[in-house]
Amino acid sequence: MTQKELKEFLNTKVEVYNHPSFIASDPIQIPHQFSLKEDIEIAGFLAATIAWGNRKSIINNARKMMELMGNTPHDFVMNSTEDDQQDLLPFVHRTFNGEDFIQFIKSLRHIYLNHNGLEAVFAKHASEDSLQESISYFKQIFFEIEHLKRTQKHISDPMKGSAAKRINMFLRWMVRPNNTGVDLGIWKTLSPAQLSCPLDVHSGNVARKLGLLKRKQNDAKALLELDKSLRKFDKEDPVKYDFALFGLGVFEKF
């Protein structure tokens, strides 16, 4: 395919998958349950944090997280007592357990009380076409309070070579406009032009087959390479192609 043909092919796939029907099989359905900004972003952040493994299991466990917080995530983050938080201890999703969950609640409270919330933290070190330094800064702020060392592994750091798939996916949810009813677009201080594609096994394999990515590992260098390829097609909204790459990989076994 020529570059023009490839762009047209991907744009067609974006139209297919950037559609409300996508929500039913995706963890993005969790933040869609809420209307308050802080509830949406906390629900989205927690759902994205556990978004690895079986998709049905991810969605079920993300629902369980919301139930354990009384389906009022922001209120629980800000007002739960230590006794309330003990109810989270039985939770487990793969290597993310109840102790990690409690640590996340404490760190989120710290961010809302002392750093003006999640959006403000991610906006602080944003560059014109990247949020990777913002993600690294976010991890630093998230763990600047006393914390369990084991919990650090659940937040990736692009400055240490990670593609940070789950946080990039969360940022897509928060920043891309809700034009088709999929992404939520509740953060207005950041723009889609700053987003990076959530790079995982599926999107990486499809990107390589299409000649958009040569690097074999799905790491920060691969993400930068893929970003450059996708920005040639649409520099204002490069991450819309996540729908095409992911859909081709997961649903069409491309």
Task: Determine the pLDDT at residue 253.
Answer: 84
What percent of the chain has a predicted confidence (pLDDT) above 70? Answer: 100
pLDDT at 100 over 90: yes
d(CA 84, CA 102): 10
pLDDT tens across 221-237, in order?
Answer: 999 999 999 999 999 99
Select from 186, 159, 193 the least CA-distant residue to 170. 186
Inter-residue contact 239 to 197 (CB < 8 Å): yes
pLDDT tens across 40-84, in order?
Answer: 999 999 999 999 999 999 999 999 999 999 999 999 999 999 999
pLDDT tens across 143-176, in order?
Answer: 999 999 999 999 999 999 999 999 999 999 999 9
Domain residue ranges in the chain: 3-252
pLDDT bracket for residue 254 (50, 70, 90)? confident
pLDDT at 10 over 90: yes
How would DSSP label each residue in 42-65?
HHHHHHHHT--S-HHHHHHHHHHH
What rounded mean pLDDT belongs to the chain? Answer: 97
How many other C-beta atoms are found inside a 10 Å radius of the C-beta of residue 61? 22
d(CA 8, CA 45): 32
pTM of the model: 0.96
How many other C-beta atoms are found inside a 10 Å radius of the C-beta of residue 162? 21
Average of per-residue pLDDT across 190-214: 97
- Take residue 237 and report the two structure tokens written for it: 């909204």
Angle at 62 between CA 115 and CA 238, to 5 degrees: 65
How would DSSP label each residue in 161-214?
TB--HHHHHHHHHHHS--SSSSS-----SS-GGG------HHHHHHHHHTTS--
Task: Determine the pLDDT at residue 174.
Answer: 98
- Take residue 62 and report the two structure tokens written for it: 């993300």
